């Protein structure tokens, strides 16, 4: 089994093609600059060339990070994944990008609870907290939109507090984290981890998450006034 995954929720996007043991057949990453599609399309074109040349890169599963994160880039990644899955009706799985980040961090801190937070703008933050259960990260605080008080509460009892937005909220999280907790601000969700999580769920017969971007802010309506 081969899994092709795309992750484009944070400042760096990535693509990975893995075999069922988690070995990388292809990995690429790029600066996801304001959701422009060139780098993602270039990585997909490289995968397509290998496929056409008989490299054995035909995927059995398509996975994509669904956020939260940069909404335009997320929609682009989801649309690309759907386009790849549709012609041959391949299985398609969404994976929370926060969970993929927690999964990557748990390899370095295997016994720790991990709180993952990001800047949701408008003086709000998204946050979730995970612990390892049956060799998968399980949320004991579900992904939600919150304020500084909610960030502090989510971080309480966690051994690691992480964010893909270290330049924006790293200092705030440093102040809010519990005493003794590690602060990780230099990691981002990776397509490799999105692929591994989707594969583990499929191998265990667990339901695959729908492939829809996570958008935590409510829709903003504009009225003409009057």
User: For the chain, which ranges sit under pLDDT 70?
Assistant: 33-35, 217-226
Count of domains for the chain: 2
Instruction: Identify whether 109 is part of a domain.
Output: yes
Task: For residues 103 and 79, state if they share a domain.
Answer: no
Give the integer Cα–Cα distance in Å for 96 and 106: 15
> What is the pLDDT at residue 36?
75
130: containing domain: 97-184
> What is the pLDDT at residue 215?
83
Instruction: Identify whether 221 is part of a domain.
Output: no
**Residues whose CB falls within 8 Å of the CB of residue 83, separated by 6 or more in sequence, listed in order:** none
Task: For residues 38 and 146, state if they share a domain.
Answer: no
> What is the pLDDT at residue 195?
98
Classify the phi-psi angles of 135: left when phi > 0, otherwise alpha if psi is within -120 to 50, otherwise beta.
left
Instruction: Identify whether 74 is part of a domain.
Output: yes
Average pLDDT of the residues of the chain: 92
> What is the pLDDT at residue 35?
62
Q: β-strands 124-133, 136-146: how paired?
A: antiparallel
Task: For residues 71 and 111, state if they share a domain.
Answer: no
> What is the pLDDT at residue 32?
78
Q: How do the residues of the chain divide into helix, strand and coil, expressed in percent and rounded to 5?
A: 30, 30, 40
Token output for 15: 């693509």
Task: For residues 84 and 6, state if they share a domain.
Answer: yes
Write the pLDDT tens digit of every residue in 122-165: 889 999 999 999 999 999 999 999 999 999 999 999 999 999 99
Q: Name the helix (H) or strand (E) containing 53.
A: none
> What is the pLDDT at residue 71?
85
- Residues 98 and 116 sit within 8 Å (Cβ to Cβ): yes
Instruction: Identify whether 212 is part of a domain.
Output: no
Instruction: Identify whether 88 is part of a domain.
Output: yes
């Amino acid at each position: 089994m081969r899994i092709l995954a795309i992750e484009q929720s944070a400042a760096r996007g990535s693509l990975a093609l893995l075999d069922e043991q988690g070995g990388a057949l292809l990995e690429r990453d790029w600066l996801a600059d304001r959701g422009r599609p060139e780098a993602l399309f270039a990585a997909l074109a490289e995968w397509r060339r290998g496929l056409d040349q008989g490299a054995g890169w035909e995927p059995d599963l398509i996975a994509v990070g669904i956020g939260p994160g940069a909404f335009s880039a997320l929609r682009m990644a989801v649309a690309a994944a759907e386009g790849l899955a549709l012609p041959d009706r391949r299985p398609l799985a969404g994976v929370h990008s926060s969970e993929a980040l927690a999964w990557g961090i748990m390899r370095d801190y295997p016994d720790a609870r991990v709180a993952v937070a990001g800047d949701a703008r408008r003086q709000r933050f998204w946050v979730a907290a995970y612990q390892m259960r049956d060799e998968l990260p399980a949320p004991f605080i579900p992904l939600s939109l919150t304020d500084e008080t909610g960030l502090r509460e989510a971080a309480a009892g966690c051994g690691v507090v992480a964010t893909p937005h270290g330049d924006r909220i790293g200092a705030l999280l440093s102040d809010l984290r519990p005493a003794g907790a590690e602060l990780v601000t230099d990691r981002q969700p990776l397509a490799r981890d999105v692929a591994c999580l989707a594969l583990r769920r499929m191998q265990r017969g667990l339901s695959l998450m729908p492939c829809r971007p996570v958008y935590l802010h409510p829709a903003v309506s504009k009225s003409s006034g009057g």
